[in-house]
Amino acid sequence: MALQLSENALTVLKRRYLTKDEAGKVIETPDEMFKRVAKAIAQGDTLCGKSAQEITSLEESFYRMMTALEFMPNSPCLMNAGKDLGQLSACFVLPIEDSMDSIFESLKVTAMIHKSGGGTGFSFSRLRPKNAVVKTTGGVASGPISFMKVYDAATEAVKQGGTRRGANMGILRVDHPDILEFITCKENNKHITNFNISVAVTNEFMEKLKNGGEYDLIDPHTKKPVERLKASDVFDLIVKQAHKNGEPGIIFIDRMNEFNPTPKLGSYESTNPCGEQILLPYESCDLGSINLLALAKKVGNRYEIDWERLKEVTRLSAHFLDNLIDVNRFPLPAIEKATKQTRKIGLGVMGWASLLIRLNIPYNSEEAVALAEKVMSFILEEATKKSLELGKEKGVFPAFKGSIYDRKDSPLRMRNATLTTIAPTGTISIIAGPCSSGIEPLFAISYYRNVMDNDKLVEVDPLFEEIARERGFYSRQLMEKIADSTSIQAMSEIPEDLRRIFVTAHDISPEWHVRMQAAFQKYVHNATSKTINFPHEAKVEDVRKSYLLAYDLGCKGITIYRDKSREEQVLNVGSVKQKEEPRAQDAKKEIAPRPRPEVIIGTTTKVSTGCGNLYVTINVDEEGKPFELFTQMGKAGGCAGSQLEALGRLVSLAFRAGIEVKAIIEQLRNIRCPSPSWEKGQRIFSCADAIARVVEKRLMNPTGVSNAVEVAASAMKHSHNEDGGAAVASSHHGNIVGVCPDCGGALRHEEGCSKCHACGYSKC
């Protein structure tokens, strides 16, 4: 059967998924894309000694399943499978320990992941609170939220391979001393825009909330209580903020850890950006979704689920996702090791609301909730059978011993530690369309979808149009009327039985939203991505009830969104006033690193370290604000050179993101390496410590940061500064063109080439 794709599917594929040449021209068809993906994933079976004929047969099965639009893997797989990059995972969780090394090492890895198309989740709960004393320096810590801002600025600067915007999840435990600041950190919709945030709520907190009690805030560094808060006050603030703009969400962290299949490896602390994939530090997960609408078959004059084909697709999808782990090219050895230790996969569904319409079942009904449990339990059962088969054939996941499956009476020799996840399916549901996204109800019968930096796709539900034409009430005027409305429930020209099944997100009470999420969650190993939609006029108390209901019904987390509570949203219905362009630009300026001005003035300081002479260049902008930092150590290359370059870039990012200079110094000071040195009577513990001392000397001098421009300009009058470092300026005036990579001196453009008069370096 020929591949049939909607116009919107083709648009998305061309923009994001199909291979392009160096000029950006599409050089791949959708059919070729699916062949590329099927071929790459089938190669995973070579590791267990399958014959070429068996692998070819598996490749054909994967290809047929995808071209029939019955299953779609996550976006990075469609984009990268069979290509040089080969990074196929959708989501990652990275650790953040209470040290500068850990914070910026994870930031570096984050940039790599975002560039390859993945999303990242972090718990900032291990960072000491704001204003806590840093014993090594005598200073005070800047706290988790300040570093969230650094991560946010970095994400803004690094687009995901030109195909996806960076996405992060930031999580803080409810018992962290900075929890109140965290809850309100996104009160302004223009701040920390590349993060979703969630509060990790404990069972103890929920008990205190129920009983009207207080609970302790614990300093993660000292492990000691520092304050007590009334649980209801904190919960009230969470609910108020969520009502205002949808954040923070909540994850029930203890409940998540109740189904931690490998507790000996550690406890869950964070999730991926949308909250549905719970992972240990450095784990990644590959996700995929079964298109339930494609598995509805017509019997007589009605539709029913094709259970036999659903069984086949489920088992084949589990095989696909397991193979994906073996052919994946991970961005870091630690991620590969952690991922292959547990071999977690996340098989989910999409097209749920569309299926219900085909079956003539209202989304907000007992029948729909019961069917949700039946469908998801069936998928989990068949995926488990397949994982057991793969475990017997290829071996169990390496961390099996001591896992929850390692039972003395009857061990379940699973190939995968987790099997099911309900993930968002935004663009892959467009490709597989017409089908609804994930387990969400229809957002509207007709709406605009904003994708790829505010490009718009006009969507009209094809099932509604199909039925309207069949029953003779379709008209252009009616479709336009529907497009300008959030609901068809009051439209008498539409038959009542159709109004009953074509309910939209805002026709459905929050209680039904939560009950549907809970029904799927019963048979999902990980968690369930589901937005609990509220109309604009919803009250704060309505949000409170939903949060409490989600906990009572066994959900692992909850995210709500009240319509029009943010200036910008992905899906718009009705007549929505377009945001004025200047405001959009202002928002970007607030969250992005400051743009580089034409002229930058600075100084270069020479410092003796145990590894050699280090040259540290600090440049400031026209306003005297520190802007960038470069480091160079003689002719250092390899790991040392790359680490120094990375450190310089990240400190520059912190400067440009507005992090206090004092906080940067405190994080870098007194970091120790095996080769300390002495510099003018001072002990230099490491290159990081040396950088901190230069930053302190140049930017925290008695004249103040505001006079840094004058200090630098004065230094420009001399060939060398007091410490023997060459003063440099990067501008378009004169012939100075940059910084010498060998000695840190001024590079000048002479004789058609860049030269350094200090050390004789020549670019030519």
Question: Is the pLDDT assigned to residue 460 strictly greater than 90?
Answer: no
Of the listed ranges 117-126, 478-487, 718-727, the least confidently predicted one is: 718-727
CB neighbour list of residue 358: distance below 8 Å, 6 or more residues apart: 293, 296, 303, 463
Q: What percent of the chain has pLDDT over 90?
A: 61
Phi/psi at 638 (5° precision): 60, -145
Domain range annotation of the chain: 7-87+277-430, 91-271, 600-756
The pLDDT value recorded for residue 682 is 76
Contact of 277 with 91, CB cutoff 8 Å: yes
CA distance 474 to 468: 5
Give me the mean pLDDT over the 342-354 stretch.
97
The mean of the pLDDT values for the chain is 85
Give me the mean pLDDT over the 708-719 stretch.
38
The pLDDT value recorded for residue 139 is 74
Strand partners, 304: 297
pLDDT in tens, 64-116: 999 999 999 999 999 999 999 899 998 999 999 999 999 999 999 999 888 87
The pLDDT value recorded for residue 159 is 60
- The pairing of beta strand 119-123 with beta strand 91-93: parallel
The pLDDT value recorded for residue 602 is 86
CA separation, residue 537 to residues 487, 506, 540, 759 (Å)? 15, 11, 10, 69
Residue 93 three-state SS: strand
Residue in 276, 382, 440, 628 annotated catalytic = 276
For the four alpha carbons of 510, 515, 520 and 523, in that order, the dihedral sign comes to positive
Angle, vertex CA 200, rays to CA 222 and CA 254, nearest 5:
90
CA distance 127 to 651: 19
Domain 91-271, CATH among 3.90.1150.10, 3.20.70.20, 1.10.3720.10, 3.40.190.10: 3.20.70.20
Of the listed ranges 398-402, 419-423, 521-525, 741-745, the least confidently predicted one is: 741-745
**Virtual torsion, Cα 107, 108, 113, 115, nearest 10 deg:** 110
The pLDDT value recorded for residue 165 is 62
**Virtual torsion, Cα 270, 273, 274, 275, nearest 10 deg:** 0
CA distance 286 to 454: 27
Name the residue among 159, 194, 196 with its Cα closest to residue 16.
159
Q: Provide the residue type at 112 as one letter.
A: M
Contact of 361 with 367, CB cutoff 8 Å: yes
Phi/psi at 48 (5° precision): -110, 20
Q: What percent of the chain has pLDDT over 70?
A: 84
To the query of whether residue 454 is one of the catalytic residues in this protein, the response is: no
Q: What is the 8-class DSSP label of residue 399?
A: G
Question: Is the pLDDT assigned to residue 618 strictly greater than 60?
Answer: yes
| Same-fold call for 7-87+277-430 versus 91-271 | yes
To the query of whether residue 276 is one of the catalytic residues in this protein, the response is: yes
DSSP H helical segments within 68-185, as ranges?
75-80, 100-116, 144-157, 179-183
Classified by CATH at the fold level, domain 7-87+277-430 comes out as: Anaerobic Ribonucleotide-triphosphate Reductase Large Chain (3.20.70)
Give me the mean pLDDT over the 2-25 stretch.
91
164 or 133, higher pLDDT: 133
For residue 693, the Cα-to-chain-centroid distance in whole angstroms is 35
Name the residue among 669, 728, 673 with its Cα closest to residue 700.
669
CA distance 728 to 632: 14
The pLDDT value recorded for residue 141 is 84
CB neighbour list of residue 441: distance below 8 Å, 6 or more residues apart: 353, 363, 503, 504, 505, 507, 508, 513
The first and second tokens of residue 748, run together, are 């000048």
Question: Is the pLDDT assigned to residue 599 strictly greater than 50?
Answer: yes
To the query of whether residue 272 is one of the catalytic residues in this protein, the response is: yes
The pLDDT value recorded for residue 1 is 62
Strand partners, 626: 620
Contact of 632 with 726, CB cutoff 8 Å: no
pLDDT in tens, 183-196: 999 988 788 989 99
The pLDDT value recorded for residue 92 is 96
pLDDT in tens, 210-239: 999 999 999 999 999 999 999 999 999 999
For residue 177, the Cα-to-chain-centroid distance in whole angstroms is 25
Region for residue 554 given its phi and psi (left: phi exceeds 0; alpha: psi -120 to 50; beta: otherwise): left
Give me the mean pLDDT over the 531-552 stretch.
94
Write out the DSSP string of 289-313: EEEGGGGEEEETTEEEE-HHHHHHH
Give me the mean pLDDT over the 431-449 stretch.
86
CA distance 86 to 160: 14
CB atoms within 10 A of CB 226: 12
The pLDDT value recorded for residue 450 is 56
The listed range with the strongest mean pLDDT (188-197, 332-341, 713-722) is: 332-341
Question: Is the pLDDT assigned to residue 558 strictly greater than 50?
Answer: yes
Q: Provide the residue type at 129 as one letter.
A: P
The pLDDT value recorded for residue 459 is 66
Which helix (H) or strand (E) segment is 339 a member of? helix 333-342
- Kindly tell me the number of DSSP H helices and DSSP E strands found in the chain: 25, 30
Contact of 220 with 98, CB cutoff 8 Å: yes
The pLDDT value recorded for residue 584 is 37
Q: What is the 8-class DSSP label of residue 26?
A: B
The first and second tokens of residue 339, run together, are 């991922």
Strand partners, 747: 738, 756
Residue 253 three-state SS: helix
The pLDDT value recorded for residue 645 is 85
The pLDDT value recorded for residue 174 is 98
Residue in 272, 328, 572, 721 annotated catalytic = 272
CA distance 453 to 16: 12
For residue 338, the Cα-to-chain-centroid distance in whole angstroms is 18
The first and second tokens of residue 66, run together, are 């995808």
CA distance 92 to 278: 9
The pLDDT value recorded for residue 374 is 98
For the four alpha carbons of 584, 586, 587 and 593, in that order, the dihedral sign comes to positive
Residue in 77, 91, 185, 274 annotated catalytic = 274
CA distance 534 to 643: 48
194 or 674, higher pLDDT: 194
Phi/psi at 446 (5° precision): -145, 135
pLDDT in tens, 413-426: 999 999 999 999 98
Give me the mean pLDDT over the 675-682 stretch.
74
Write out the DSSP string of 462-484: HHHHHHHHHTT---HHHHHHHHT
Name the residue among 98, 248, 121 with its Cα closest to residue 179.
248
The pLDDT value recorded for residue 729 is 35
